[in-house]
Structure 1
């Protein structure tokens, strides 16, 4: 089970955000099982989502769980359009939960 970074949890204050925060570890576990992933590092975060380093078979990836918001709604469509050319490759996604499985690149691989 993952531990949500305290710096991420501290900014979530609305009842809706707190409910989703409480559900985050279980949601991550569900997607680990669904896509046959294993944890490969500590969770990180940006402003609107949690990013969990994972491995999919022998491939480095990240599981990105965003808060439902208008800017994230079409992210999977945009990434699928780019097909990894100029953007990270979208490996899988679940639009309903705002979850993306993305390739993980090293800084030198960008």
Structure 2
């Protein structure tokens, strides 16, 4: 079957219009999915930031507790060393007001 130039032109024009409509619909769909995906990502990022803030607060409190405990341990060790030095070398404890003489 031989198709005339005008018929072929109409067929090509129709195919071009259908393709253009399909592409527009596909682009709109991709844009919509992109916007939804972006919104989901922003929501997830916000949730993760909030969770991270909570973890930082919990860790901050624990770090402060460990620091306080470390200071207490150092003070206790220094006191123990001073007492041992006092016994071994006959040196009075600093700040006790005892005079070895």
TM-score scaled by length of structure 2: 0.20
- Between the two structures, name the one with larger relative contact order (CA 8 Å, sep ≥ 6): 1
- Report the structure, 1 or 2, having the larger strand content: 1
Higher CA-based Rg: 2
TM-score scaled by length of structure 1: 0.19
- Report the structure, 1 or 2, having the larger helix content: 2
